[in-house]
Structure 1
Amino acid sequence: MQSNNRLRRAVTATAILCLLIAAGTNAHAREDESMTTTLEQARLQGNETIETPIGAIELTHNYFDDDASARLFDEMDYQRAAQAYIWSTPMTSLTTWRDQQASVYGASDMDFVVYETLKEKIGVVTGNLTTPYIMNFTSLKDGPLEIAYPAGQTAGGILDFWQRPVFDLGLTGPDKGEGATYIVVGPSEDPAQYERDGAYVYQSATNNIFIGIRLLDTAAGALDAFGAAYKMGPVGQPLKDVGIIKGKDLAWSGTAARGLDYWKTLASVLQDEPVRDIDKPWMAMLAPLGIEPGQPFQPDARQAAILTKGAAMGELMARNLQVNPRYTEPYWTGTQWYKSFDFHIPQETETRQELDERATWFYEAIGSTEGMVNPTPGAGQVYMTTKRDSNGDMLRADRTYRLHVPANVPVAQFWSLTLYSENTRRPYENGGTEIRSTSLDSRDDQLAFNDDGSIDLFVGVKPPAGMECNFMKTVDQDGWFVYFRLYAPEQPFFDKSFRLPDFERID
C-alpha cells in the first residue's frame, strides 16, 4: 500500500514537472513571437515589427539590423537637413548676392555696385524699384574697417551675414544724414580698443559684412557726389576712394540656388565665420552631412542625395511659413495684409531663436535695418504684403485683381506697390522693360487717380479699358505677391485708422 502511494506521488510530481517545463517552453515560444505595432504603439522591447514612415523596423530582442540602422540614419539626417535649410536661409541668401555681385559685376571689396535699371534691380530679392541701390560686400577678417560717411539724403546700414543690422547709416543712423566716421570691428576684436572722439564704433558678429545704401536725393549729380565723398579702408591707414560700378545694365539673380548648390554656398561662407554659441546645435546636425568649418565640402553620394532632398523640403516649409505665417495675425483685422517684419532685430528673444519669423522674411526678402524693423512716425519704412484676395483665395497669375488705395495714404515721403514672383521672390518678369511694368508709386505722373484722391491699381492678365496706366501684368503660371511700401509712415498707419482693403478679383 505504501509502495503504491509512493508510486502515485512520484507520477504526480513527474506530471507537474512536465507541465512546468511545457509552460516554460510555451512562454519562451511566446517571447519569440514577433508583434506588429504602429510607431505610436511601439514597445521598443523584445521581438517587434514597427510600421514607420520609412518602412518596417524589425526588432529582435530589442535590437535592429544594419539595414534598419542605415534607414534611421538617413531619415535623421534628412530631417536635420530640412530644418537646417530654414536656419541657414539668411546667411545663404546674402552670400548668394555677394558671389553674384563679384562674378557678374566684377566687384571687389572696395567697390560699390549701383543698381538703377530694371534689368539690374530685377536680380534683387524683393528689390525696391523706386530708388537707386548702392551695394558693397567686404570682410573684417584682416582687421577693422573705418568709413568716412558723407552727409546727404541717404538711408541704409551695415549688416552682418545673418542679415542683422550692425548699425544704420544716413537718415536713420546716428549721423542723421549729417555724415560721420564709423569703425566696424570683427567678432574676434575688442571694440573698446578702437574708441576715439568723433567716431562711432560697432562690432559685427560675422567677418563678412554687407553695406547697403539707398540714395533718396533725386537731384542731378547726387550719386556722383556721394560716391566721390565716401571713403573707407583699414583702421590706422589713409582712407581710400571706393570704386563705383554703374551703368552696366547686366542681368543676374540673387535667388538662392536649389539642390546641392544651396549647401555649397552655405559651406563656403561657414569657412570664413566663427560659430556662435546659439548655432552650435546646427553645426552638430550638419557635420554628418559633410558641412563643417575647417573641412572641405565633399559629400559622398549618400550625403548629396539627402542634402538635395532636404533642401527641397526645407524650401517648401519656408514657403509655407512665408505664405501662412502661423505665429502672427494680419495687421488689419479682417484683411489678408501682413506686416512683413514680425521679429526682433537680434533674431532672438531671452528664451528662443526666432527661426520661423526670420525664415519668413529672409526666404521672401533680403536685408534688415532699424528703420525697416522698427519704423516710427515720420521715419523709416513699412513693408506690407499679401498673398490672398478678399475671399481668402491665393492670388493667381491667370486672374485679374483690383486694389483700391484710399486717399491720403499716411506717408511723409511716398508709397509704392511692387509686384514679385513667388518662385524667385524677385521683381516680376512679365516682358516689360520699364520699372513701372512691375512697380507703381505715388510719385508716378502717369497714374490716374480718382476724383476723391483715391486710386485703383490692377494686377493680372488684362486691365479694364482705360486703366492701362494703373496696371501690372502677370503671365503664365508665375504666381505673385506684392509689397505695399510706406516711406516715412505717419501716425494713422500706426494707430490703424488707415487701412488697405484686400485685392478684389474682377475677371
Structure 2
Amino acid sequence: MKSLPTMLAMAAFAAASATAVAQEAIDSHIGKLTFESGYPSQETVKKLYDEMDFQRACQAYLWGIPAVGMAEWRLAHRDIFKAQNGQMLSYLDFKEKLGILTPNYTTPYIATLIDTQESGPFVVEIPPGLMAGMIMDAWQRVLADLGVVGPDKGKGGKYLILPPGYPKVNPKGYYVVRSEGRTVFAGVRLLDADKERAIRELIPGIKTYKWSPDGTGPAIPVRHAGDAAWSQMPPHGMAYWESLNKVIQSEPVMERDRLILAQLRFLGIEKGKPFNPDARQKKLLEDAAVVGEAMAKANTSDKRVEPAFWPGTNWKHALVVSVDQRMPGYDQLDERAAWFYEAVAVSKGMLTQTPGVGQRYIAAYKDHDGNWLTGGSTYKLHVPPNAPIKQFWSVTAYDEGTRQMVVTQQGRPDLSSRKEDIVKNPDSSIDVYFGPKAPPGKEANWVQTIPGKGWFAYFRFYAPTEAFFNKSWALPDFEKVN
C-alpha cells in the first residue's frame, strides 16, 4: 500500500497534467489556438470555421473568374446593348471594344451570347473569308473553333449548337456542336489586312437563327454594339458573389465542380436556394473578394505556372490555359484564372503550334530591370527585323486596374506592323515607345500611358512562323529610358 505522501504526490501530478492539457495552446498564422483535453475550445472552433470558409471563398473567387467574366458580357449584351438572344454584335472601333478585357485594337470583333434554354437549337453561320473564332460554354471552354482554324477551314459554314439534353441529330450541311451548359458564346475576329473591305464584305454574311428539324427561323443580322459605356470586367466586392451565384443557379452542375460547390454551401451559395448570406458570411465573402482578387493579380502578372518565353527576359505566355482547361493529372485552376482574369475567350487557333496559322500572345508586366511597367515612365521596345509572322504583329498597352485598353488623349493604345506611318530603322527593326509623352521625333512610334497607373503589354503574333516556335527570333524586354 502506497503511503499517504506518495498518493498525494501522484494526485498532484495527475491534476497538473490535466491542467496542462486543458490549457494547451498552439501559435498559428491565424493566431493562438486553444484546446481543452485535446479538443478545440469554442472560441477556436469559431476561428477555425471562419478561416476554413475564408480560404474556401478565396479559392472559389479564382475558380469563378471565367464564368463571372462571361456572365458580365452576357448581361451587357442583353441589358446595355438591348440585343436579341443570339444576335451577333460588331465591335469595330476603340469605344465599342473598350469594355472587353484585353481586346486587340486592330482587328474587328463580331460576337454574341446565346441562352440555349430560351432559343433551343441555334445556328451560327459564317461566310468564306479570313476570320477566326470560337464557340464556348459559360466557363469559356471551347466547344468548336470557327473560320480558318475551325473545321470549315475558312470556307464558311453553318454551326448548329444543340442545348443540353437535346436528341442526337446530324443534319446535312451543318457542323454540329453540343453544349453541356445553358449559356454559349460565339465570336470571330476579322483578319484581312484591308480592314474596311473585310467589314464591308464579310459581316453581311455572318448571321444567326433558330433551327428545328422542320426548318429554320428568320436570320438575325449583325448590328453595331454601339458606343454605350459597358464592361465585362468581373465586379468587386459582394457583386462578384452575386454574379457567380447567378451562374451557379442557371448552369448545370459540372462533375469537376462538385467539391467547390459543396464548400460554397457554408458561405450561403447553394444551387436551388436563394443567396441571402448572414452577417458573418457577408463579411467573409467581402474579405475574400479583396484577397481573392489580389491573388488573381499575382497569379496573372507574376505567373508561376511556367517560365519566361524567351530565356532571360520578362516576357511570358499570356494565354496559359488549354481549350478544355484540363491536364493529364488535374484540371487547370491557376492557369485559367491567370488568363480569364485579364482576358476573354480562347481557341485552338490562339494556342497554335503550327507555323503560319493562328495567333500567339506574349505578355510583359515588367521592364528589363524587373520593375513593374508604370505610366509615368518612358520605355523603349526594340522589335528586331524579320518578325516571325505571315500576317502582322501588334503590341497593345492595357490598364492594370481594368485590364482594358489604356484610355488617353491619344485614343490609340496600340502599334502594329500594319501602321502605315510607322518608322523603321535602317536594318528594318522598329523601336516602339511607351510613356506619358512622345520622345522628340518618335510620335509615329509612340503609345501614350498615364502617370500613376500601372500597365502591361500584349505582343501578338498573327500567323507566327517557325522562328517564333524555335525561338531563333526573340523580343527583348522593355527598356526604361530618360
Give TM-score, length-normalised by structure 2. 0.95
Q: Distance in 2 between matches of 1:219 and 1:85?
A: 38
1:418 aligns to what? 396
Q: Distance in 2 between matches of 1:95 and 1:431?
A: 31
Q: Describe how 1:142-291 pairs up with structure 2 within 5 A.
A: 142=118, 143-190=120-167, 193-217=168-192, 218=194, 220=196, 222-223=198-199, 225-229=201-205, 230-236=207-213, 237-246=215-224, 248-291=226-269
Secondary structure in 1 aligned to 2:14? helix
Secondary structure in 2 aligned to 1:168? strand
Q: Does 1:19 pair with 2:8?
A: no
Q: Structure 1 residues 462, 224: closer, same or farther in 2, change over 3 A? A: closer
Q: Distance in 1 between matches of 2:195 and 2:29?
A: 63
Secondary structure in 1 aligned to 2:245? helix
- Between structure 1 and structure 2, the one with the greater Rg is 1
Secondary structure in 1 aligned to 2:250? coil
Q: Does 1:73 pair with 2:59?
A: no
Selected match of 2:331 from 341, 349, 353: 353
Secondary structure in 2 aligned to 1:141? helix
Structure 1 stretch displaced more, 338-347 or 273-282: 338-347
Secondary structure in 2 aligned to 1:475? coil
Q: Distance in 1 between matches of 2:165 and 2:250?
A: 12
2:37 aligns to what? 61
Secondary structure in 2 aligned to 1:240? coil
Selected match of 1:100 from 53, 76, 93: 76
2:18 aligns to what? 32
Q: Describe how 1:328-343 pairs up with structure 2 within 5 A.
A: 328-343=306-321
Q: Describe how 1:400-479 pairs up with structure 2 within 5 A.
A: 400-433=378-411, 437-479=412-454
Q: Distance in 1 between matches of 2:229 and 2:135?
A: 25
Percent identity, please. Answer: 37
Q: How far did residue 392 of structure 1 move?
A: 1.9
Q: Distance in 2 between matches of 1:450 and 1:228?
A: 40
State the AA in 1 paired with 2:132: A
Q: Distance in 2 between matches of 1:99 and 1:221?
A: 31
Kept after mapping to 1: 8 A contact 2:320/2:338: no
State the AA in 2 paired with 1:256: P
Kept after mapping to 2: 8 A contact 1:449/1:455: yes
Kept after mapping to 2: 8 A contact 1:401/1:505: yes
State the AA in 2 paired with 1:31: S
Secondary structure in 1 aligned to 2:341? helix
Q: How far did residue 243 of structure 1 move?
A: 4.0
Q: How far did residue 87 of structure 1 move?
A: 1.0
State the AA in 1 paired with 2:143: V
Kept after mapping to 2: 8 A contact 1:231/1:239: no
Selected match of 1:487 from 455, 462, 469: 462
Which 4+ stretches in 1 moved above 6 angstroms? none
Kept after mapping to 1: 8 A contact 2:122/2:208: no
Kept after mapping to 2: 8 A contact 1:375/1:381: no
Deviations 1:274-316 (A, max 9, x none): 1111110100111111111111111111111111111111111
Q: Distance in 1 between matches of 2:318 and 2:385?
A: 23
Q: Structure 1 residues 497, 210: closer, same or farther in 2, change over 3 A? A: same
Kept after mapping to 2: 8 A contact 1:379/1:488: yes
Q: Distance in 2 between matches of 1:234 and 1:48?
A: 69
Q: Structure 1 residues 461, 267: closer, same or farther in 2, change over 3 A? A: same
Q: Distance in 2 between matches of 1:297 and 1:439?
A: 42
Secondary structure in 1 aligned to 2:440? coil
State the AA in 1 paired with 2:126: Y
State the AA in 2 paired with 1:362: F
Secondary structure in 2 aligned to 1:33? helix
Q: Which runs of 5+ in 1 are unaligned?
A: 1-12, 35-44
2:362 aligns to what? 384
Selected match of 2:295 from 310, 317, 321: 317
Deviations 1:303-334 (A, max 9, x none): 11111111111111111111221121111111
Kept after mapping to 1: 8 A contact 2:91/2:109: yes
Give TM-score, length-normalised by structure 1. 0.90
Q: How far did residue 234 of structure 1 move?
A: 3.1
Deviations 1:28-68 (A, max 9, x none): 2212333xxxxxxxxxx654122233332221222333332
2:25 aligns to what? 49
Kept after mapping to 2: 8 A contact 1:147/1:233: no
Q: Describe how 1:111-126 pairs up with structure 2 within 5 A.
A: 111-126=87-102
Kept after mapping to 2: 8 A contact 1:381/1:486: yes
State the AA in 1 paired with 2:406: Y
Kept after mapping to 1: 8 A contact 2:208/2:221: no
Q: How far did residue 220 of structure 1 move?
A: 4.7
Q: Does 1:344 pair with 2:305?
A: no
User: RMSD across aligned C-alpha pairs, in angstroms?
Assistant: 1.8
Secondary structure in 2 aligned to 1:213? strand
Structure 1 stretch displaced more, 271-280 or 235-244: 235-244
1:504 aligns to what? 479
Q: Distance in 1 between matches of 2:8 and 2:83?
A: 85
Aligned residues: 478
Q: Structure 1 residues 295, 156: closer, same or farther in 2, change over 3 A? A: same
Q: Which runs of 5+ in 2 are unaligned?
A: none
Kept after mapping to 2: 8 A contact 1:422/1:480: yes
Q: Distance in 1 between matches of 2:352 and 2:430?
A: 28
State the AA in 2 paired with 1:466: G
Kept after mapping to 2: 8 A contact 1:375/1:382: no
Kept after mapping to 1: 8 A contact 2:86/2:115: no
Q: Distance in 2 between matches of 1:319 and 1:235?
A: 45
Q: Distance in 1 between matches of 2:27 and 2:413?
A: 51
Secondary structure in 2 aligned to 1:447? coil
Secondary structure in 2 aligned to 1:110? coil
Q: Distance in 2 between matches of 1:198 and 1:415?
A: 35
